[in-house]
Amino acid sequence: MELFITVALLHLFAVASPGPDFFLIARQSTLYGRDISIWASLGISIGILMHSFLSIAGIYVLLSLYPDFIFYMKIIASLYIASIGVRTLLVNNQIEISSLSDQKNITATKSFVMGFFTNALNPKAFLFFIMVFSLISNTNPSNETKILLGIYMAVATFIWFTLISISFSKISKGEFIKKNLPYLEKIIGVILILIALQILYLDYL
């Protein structure tokens, strides 16, 4: 129980910290609505699951042998997140929220993939899970316990961002948000680009 509480608290602080995942969900929910944003949330949670299983498999050994691996991840992640930011800046200001909502069936898979890669390519998330599973290894948990903790963090992440998706989609229906949506889009786009630059230039190791 103590192990679960420790992991749950670490994960709570990590997932609640504004980062590329949060601003992607803010973007998807305001531009495309709740359902599309929930698909992105699912993609992020699958990315969490991937990080967990890679950490359990002992990927930190690979990092000690090939430290440049993180460097290349930083480049790919920063370019990917920056591209989302640029696309957000270039969204047609005249597009109505209602017309964007009509694209749900077309963009659901795309939103899922965007959520997955935003999380999967994030070196901060990658190193966070290595750190978590390295810490709990001192208690000698079984592989089954590690897998269950990984599944918990993936499910908790999905629930968190689903709630964020619902909240932002409701807020976006207000007249003030509708009126100022073009400015909100630009702010989110700029923040995503700044996060991409932070990932590129911040030293993690």
For residue range 54-82, what is the model confidence (pLDDT) as tens digits? 887 776 666 667 777 777 777 887 888 88
pLDDT of amino acid 175: 56
Question: Across all residues in the chain, what is the average pLDDT?
Answer: 79
Burial class (CB in 10 A: 0-12, 13-18, 19+), 90: exposed
Statement: residue 140 has pLDDT above 80: no
How remote is the C-alpha of 159 from its chain's centroid?
A: 13
> Residues 9-18, buried b or exposed e (16+ Cβ, 10 A)?
ebbeebbeee
pTM of the shown model: 0.76
- Identify the residue with better confidence: 180 or 114: 114
Confidence of residue 98 (pLDDT cuts 50, 70, 90): very low
pLDDT-above-90 percentage for the chain? 22
pLDDT of 138 over the 50 cut = yes
When pLDDT is averaged across residues 29-43 and rounded to a whole number, the result is 91
Give the model's confidence band at 155: pLDDT under 50 very low, under 70 low, under 90 confident, else very high.
Answer: very high
Handedness of CA 188, 192, 197, 198 (dihedral sign): positive
